[in-house]
Amino acid sequence: MKADSQLPASPVDIWNPHKGFLVQSIDPESYNLNFPTTGAHNLYFDLLITGIDVNELTWLPVTHEGITATVTNVVANDRWIPDEDKGKVFPRVKLTGPVAGNQWDNPNPSRITVPKLPQKFELVGKDSDGNEVVRYGFELRQWFVNRGDRRDTAFNQTTWCSSLGYRMPQIKDLTNAVCVDHNPYSSDPSHSKCKNAVTIDAKLSSGNRFYQRRIGAGFFTEWGMIDTFFIPDAGFVGSAYLTSIPCSEEKNGFLAVHMGGGT
C-alpha cells in the first residue's frame, strides 16, 4: 500500500497510503461507509488496532448468504505491508464464499450460489473473560467471481458468467477512473472508444484515467492490486479485466479495466 505519484490523492480522512482505509463509522446503521463494500473468495485485509494486545482477543466467524468473514492473528510479512509493520501481529479478516475455481475450464459451468446483498458483517473481538473489547463492521454490496488464468473471447466469458448466475461487470463496478481514451486520429469526441462507457457517480469519481482509493467506488478502487503476485489464493491473474461495455470503435470489442484502476 505504498503511495503512487501517478494516482490522484485520496481524501486523507478515508485513505492513508501507508496503512490503508480508515474506519469511517462505528455505528451499525452506517457500516456501509467502511471498507470493504465489495469482496471475492480468499481476499483479506488486516485490522490495525492500537492500545490492545491483539493476541488476547478471540473472534467468532460471521456468515451471511454463504459468505464468511473469519479473523485470525497473523505475522504480517506480505509484499504490500509497510516495512515498519513487517513482523508484527495483526488480526486478519479473510473473506470466503461463492467461487467457481473448479469450473474455470468448463465452458458451460453449473450455477453457483448468488448471495443476496447487501449484508452487514460485524466482527467482535473479546477478551479471555468473554467481554467485548473491540468491534469492526462493514457491509458487502457486491460479490465477484473470477475465472483464474482462463483466457477466452468476450462472448464466451459472458456466457460463462451467465451460466454461473452472475454477470460481467460494468466499468463503475470496478473503478472510479474516467474513460478518456479518445481516438488519436480524430478530434471528434464522438469517435472516442469510451463513448459507451458509463462511469461512476461524479462525487466518487477520480476525475482522470487513474483510480482514486475510495470506499464504495469499485472493486479495484477498494482492493487495489490483488493478482497472484500479491494474493496468490484469490485467483485473479493478469492485470486487465473485461467489462460488459462495448468499445464503440471496435467491432465485437469491449472496454477493459486495468487492475491498477484505469480503463
C-alpha distances in Å from residue 31, one per residue of 68, 119, 140: 17, 10, 9
Which cell numbers hold the place of 73? 492473528
pLDDT in tens, the chain (263 residues): 344 445 667 899 999 999 999 999 999 999 999 999 999 999 999 999 999 999 999 999 999 999 999 999 999 998 888 899 999 999 999 999 999 999 999 999 999 999 999 999 999 999 999 999 999 999 999 999 999 999 999 999 999 999 999 999 998 999 988 876 655 444 444 545 665 565 556 667 887 778 889 999 999 999 998 988 889 899 998 778 988 887 755 566 788 888 876 66
- pTM for the model stands at 0.89
- Considering Cα of 82, then 46, then 223, then 106, what sign does the dihedral take? positive
Listed in sequence order, the residues at least 6 apart from 148 whose beta carbon sits closer than 8 Å to its beta carbon are 101, 104, 235, 237
Q: Hunting for cell 473479546 — which residue is that?
A: 126
Q: Which residues pair with 125 in a beta bridge?
A: 59, 134
